[in-house]
Amino acid sequence: MGTLSAATSRILNSKLERKIMSAATAAGLIQTGDQIGMSGFTGSGYPKAVPIELAHRIADAHFRGEKFQVSVFTGASTGPELDGALAMAGGIHLRLPYQSDPETRKRINAGEMDYMDIHLSHVAQFVEYGFLGKLDVALIEVAAILEDGRVVPSSSLGNNKTWIDCAEHVILEVNSWQPAALEGMHDIYYGLEPPPNRKPIPLVKPGQRIGSPYLNIPAEKIVGIVLTDSPDRNSASKAPDEASKRIAGHILEFLSWEVKKGLMPANLLPLQSGVGNIAKAVLFGPEEGPFEGLTSYTEVIRDGMIRLLKSGKLSSASATAFSLS
């Protein structure tokens, strides 16, 4: 009961509170052939309860000899409760963009699942312009729903705004495991108009705010709300090995030369961090390096950036997801 009450306390809008249902009931709203935009970015902020129930439903249909598959669009990779469960049930017709699940990869390589390896930055535009057909459902994890219906995003944003804008129906997973303190951290830009009236996005510094901390979802689009208390797919933080540290040293030496030659300012240009031990090691390096007032505009904020923020070396970091140990 504690988990249920904690999640219920995150839904402050009485009309939307009436749409609370079980994950199995919510999965029952999804039909074979549906195209689903699911939240999630590198194991952060992805829906965890409804995909598992959908996988059960698909497996039952296949056992009865009925065909049941859906297409799954995300921000990036997710977790075993989503990609793994649906792939294992043979429930994914088309998957895009980036994914890292071993079962999904096996089925893609076996020709049992269609896959488009387009760059994840292009997916939202593909869906928005209708290149991939109609988006039937947006299945999005969030941290809370406020009294006026505004929604506090979870630990990642990815393509969530586009999924919500384009989908015919929206199902929300309100996850009380996600910290309530996430409220206010996001910056969702609602200023884009379709061409030819689209103007440049007025963002020139990583620390700028140009949008809203909340997702705006028309109440009539929301067909179900599921309460959860499930953790993200957190990865353990390991100290970099010697080879990674040496690579980091070479990169810091290169950056120092760029500053000396006048090709970069003393606080460098905004950093982007990748995934893996080398990227982690590079983030360890600036803690001991000569650079101050650093900024980062990247896809994912990881442990190394948190350390740099705490030490004062990094003044601001902007990303679309937290992926912490």
> DSSP of 26-77, one letter per residue?
HHTT--TT-EEEE--BTTBS---SHHHHHHHHHHHHHHTT----EEEE-SS-
Q: Where are the domains of the chain?
A: 2-228, 242-322
pLDDT band at 237 (very low <50, low <70, confident <90, very high): low
Residue 125 has pLDDT above 80, yes or no: yes
Residue found under tokens 């079962």: 103
Say what the alpha-carbon torsion angle 294, 297, 301, 305 is, to the nearest 10 degrees.
Answer: -10
- Is 299 one of the catalytic residues? yes
Please give the sequence-ordered ranges of beta strands (E in DSSP) within 146-266, or none if there are none.
151-153, 169-175, 222-228
Residue found under tokens 């983030």: 283
CA distance to 31, 96, 142, 311, per residue, from 25 (Å): 12, 26, 19, 47
Query: Which among 1, 118, 101, 116 is positioned nearest to 51, based on CA atoms?
Result: 101
Say what the alpha-carbon torsion angle 38, 44, 50, 56 is, to the nearest 10 degrees.
Answer: 100
Residue found under tokens 């950036």: 305
Quote the pTM value: 0.93
CA angle centred on 300, ends 273 and 295, rounded to 5°: 55
Q: Write out pLDDT tens, residues 6-32.
A: 667 899 999 999 999 999 999 999 999
Pull the structure tokens for residue 171: 């199902």
Residue 2 has pLDDT above 60, yes or no: no
Residue 139 has pLDDT above 50, yes or no: yes
d(CA 224, CA 258): 53
Q: Which CATH number fits domain 242-322: 2.60.120.10, 3.30.750.70, 3.40.50.1580, 3.30.930.10?
A: 3.30.750.70
Mean pLDDT estimate for the chain? 92
Q: Mean pLDDT over residues 101-117, rounded?
A: 95
Contacts 24+ apart (CB under 8 A), 231-236: 231/177, 232/43, 232/44, 232/45, 232/46, 232/79, 232/155, 232/177, 232/323, 233/43, 233/44, 233/46, 233/78, 233/79, 233/80, 234/43, 234/323, 234/324, 234/325, 235/43, 235/323, 235/325, 236/325
* Catalytic residue, candidates 53, 81, 141, 299: 299
Q: Write out pLDDT tens, residues 144-156.
A: 999 999 999 999 9
Contact 230, 175 (CB under 8 A): yes
pLDDT band at 1 (very low <50, low <70, confident <90, very high): very low
Q: Write out pLDDT tens, residues 280-298.
A: 777 767 777 788 999 999 9
Query: Which among 247, 242, 240, 295 is positioned nearest to 271, based on CA atoms?
Result: 295
Contact 239, 215 (CB under 8 A): no
Query: Which among 33, 124, 3 is positioned nearest to 73, based on CA atoms?
Result: 124
Q: Mean pLDDT over residues 57-75, rounded?
A: 97
- Pairing type for strands 151-153 and 137-145 reads antiparallel
End-to-end CA distance of the chain: 28
| Dihedral sign (CA 85, 226, 325, 155) | positive
pLDDT band at 65 (very low <50, low <70, confident <90, very high): very high
Give the pLDDT confidence score for residue 48 in this predicted structure.
97
CB atoms within 10 A of CB 17: 12
Residue 229 has pLDDT above 50, yes or no: yes
Question: What percent of the chain shows pLDDT beyond 90?
Answer: 76
Class of domain 2-228: alpha beta
Q: Mean pLDDT over residues 114-123, rounded?
A: 93
Give the pLDDT confidence score for residue 50 in this predicted structure.
98
Give the pLDDT confidence score for residue 7 in this predicted structure.
67
Give the pLDDT confidence score for residue 4 in this predicted structure.
56
Q: Mean pLDDT over residues 122-149, rounded?
A: 96
Q: Mean pLDDT over residues 116-129, rounded?
A: 92
Q: Report which of residues 234 and 105 the model is more confident about.
A: 105
